[in-house]
A and B are shown apart, each in its own frame.
Chain A
């Protein structure tokens, strides 16, 4: 069964600090991996999309990495801001790409 596990479940950091969120997956055959940001009460918004051949993708202060051999991905947030407080969801696409498996998300809170 395809699975996506994210850690930690929740995280609190001070504004200006960096953090790294983890995503481990057991999805086969792998097609691509996506990171989404979901603000409370809003829909998910795409941050990055990576294929098998990509191991790093950046979007502003967000940098995602992918290790297809170990089936792990991370999302690194640099110089956090209060507006980064949200749930971050890892999504892995399998097969022809129309089978999406969603993680349960990491709830990040950035405090002053």
Chain B
């Protein structure tokens, strides 16, 4: 199983550029989410989706956009990159969310630097 696949692994952007981080899972999971991980902080939720066509904002959504056209894919778009968006981004998925003990699977991460 490939699990959760993120691309690219590394990216350098100039301030103001836009880009899309790709995330795909092959486990038929309904729930997918994007997190960012910054030094000295726990992972923070950017956006999440409970199924195809349904997305919602997390804790730090500003400057990011998502869509969920299929169960498998959940891309994260940076609209106009800023240095504050320099971070490591993780995509995650699980069968469901709620009072459940479903395992949450994470991708390998995307290292983004905005200069």
Chain A residues near B (Cβ < 8 Å): 4, 31-32, 34, 36, 41-46, 49, 51, 89, 96-98, 100-105
Contacts and interface: CB of A to CB of B under 8 A. Distances in A.
B109 A41 contact: yes
A4 B104 CA distance: 18
A102 B42 contact: yes
A97 B48 CA distance: 13
Contact of B40 (A31, A102, A104): A104
B42 A104 contact: yes
Contacts of A97: 97-100
Contact of A43 (B40, B98, B107): B107
Contact of A98 (B44, B98, B101, B108): B98
Contacts of A104: 40-42
Contact of A46 (B4, B41, B90, B103): B103
Contacts, number: 50
A42 B108 contact: yes
Interface of B is mostly: loop
A45 B4 CA distance: 12
Interface residues of B, number: 22
B19 interface: no
A42 B3 CA distance: 14
B47 to A, nearest CB: 13
A98 to B, nearest CB: 4
A101 B42 contact: yes
B101 A49 contact: yes
Contacts of B90: 43-44
B42 A103 contact: yes
Interface string B30-46: 01000000001111110
Interface in B68-115: 90, 97-101, 103-109
A91 to B, nearest CB: 8
A27 to B, nearest CB: 12
Nearest to A34: B104
Interface centre among B97, B98, B99, B107 (most CB of A within 10 A): B99
A34 B100 CA distance: 12
Interface in B6-49: 31, 40-45, 48
